[in-house]
Amino acid sequence: MTKFVRLIDQKRCMGCRSCAAACAAENYFTPEAPWNSMIEYEVGTYPAVKRIYNTMNCMHCERPSCKAACDSVGAKAISKNQFGVVLIDYNKCIGCGYCAAVCPYGVPHLNKELQPLYPGKGKNGAESIADADRHPTHRKKAKTAEKCTFCTHKLEQAVADGKTDRIGKDQAYTPSCDLVCPTQARLFGDIDDPNSEVSKRIKATNATQLRKQFGTGPQVYYVLEEGAKS
């Protein structure tokens, strides 16, 4: 089996938001529905204080609460594929917002309307690319929920090229946020392969998931800074 996971090392992260910027550029950013966000907070007591940088994207849970909610309203727009990636089908989404309401990490966002990046200046950059020329996950729609896809268009390309072993290694087959991190605080790969870099680092660093009390089984692991919330 192959199960892709992400490791985020808070001890390395310096809060530069390169990951969020790369995600925005790669995935046709829409202002109302960010796929990658940064949460910052302080721990400790003066003078021994520390700033924690916690980037948040979809956790691609083993038991996704968003899917449970979506199925319960009958839309069945959310699925989990063979690589463990949780995806939203925009054509099936009815815009009820239940997925956004139940996610323990507040990940899915509803695009109430598609706003231009530069209001009043027409379409810019990626906005001018026709829907037909985009991957289905980039065909953004109003009144539709969106979230991180683990850059599934790149994973699909790896499958098409017969290079799934290069996922997490080659630029063409690795999520953009993980590629650009200047401090190598992010790592992506197959956790079912005990020899993969991500497996080794999760084991070596004793990395953990966030908000485990929800029992959703997130596929994003964090190396927690001392005093950081989990």
Partner 1 sequence: MKRFIAFVVMALALAAMPALAATPGAGKTPVKKSLARFHDIHTKKLAMDCATCHQTERESGLLQVPRTQVVDRQTCLSCHKEGSKPAWYGVVAR
Binding site for partner 1 (CB under 8 A): 34, 37, 39, 41-43, 52, 54, 56, 61-63, 65, 68-69, 72-75, 94-98, 101-107, 109, 143, 210-217, 228-230
Cα 159 from Cα 170, distance rounded (Å): 13
Q: By C-alpha distance, which of 130, 127, 108 is closest to 116?
A: 127
Q: How far is the CB of 44 from partner 1 (least distance, A)?
A: 12
Nearest by Cα to 199 from 4, 11, 56: 4
Q: Which is nearer to partner 1, 168 or 218 (CB)?
A: 218
Q: Closest CB to partner 1 among 106 and 125?
A: 106
Give the pair of three-digit tokens for residue 82: 């063979």
| Shortest separation between residue 192's beta carbon and partner 1, angstroms | 20
Least distance between partner 1 and beta carbon 80 (Å): 13
The tokens for 22 are 């790369």
Between 96 and 126, CB nearer to partner 1: 96
Please identify, using beta-carbon distances, which residue of 137 and 216 lies nearer to partner 1. 216
For residue 123, the minimal CB distance to partner 1 (Å) is 26
Q: SS3 sequence, 86-127?
A: EEECCCCCCCCCHHHHHCCCCCCEEECCCCCCCCCCCCCHHH
49 phi/psi in degrees, rounded to 5: -110, 160
Question: Measured from the CB atom, is 111 or 152 closer to partner 1?
Answer: 111
CB of 26 to partner 1, least distance (A): 18
Q: Could you tell me the CA-to-CA distances from 177 to 149, 158, 164, 192, 216 in Å, in that order?
A: 12, 17, 19, 22, 23
In terms of CB distance, is 81 or 208 closer to partner 1?
208
Contacts of 52 (CB under 8 A, 6+ apart): 10, 40, 41, 42, 43, 225, 227, 228, 229
- We find the least distance from the C-beta atom of residue 218 to partner 1, in angstroms, to be 10
Least gap, CB of 87 to partner 1 (angstroms)? 18
Pick 101 or 129: Cβ nearer partner 1 = 101
Alpha carbon 83 to its chain centroid, in Å, reads: 14
With H, G, I as helix, E, B as strand and everything else as coil, classify residue 180: helix
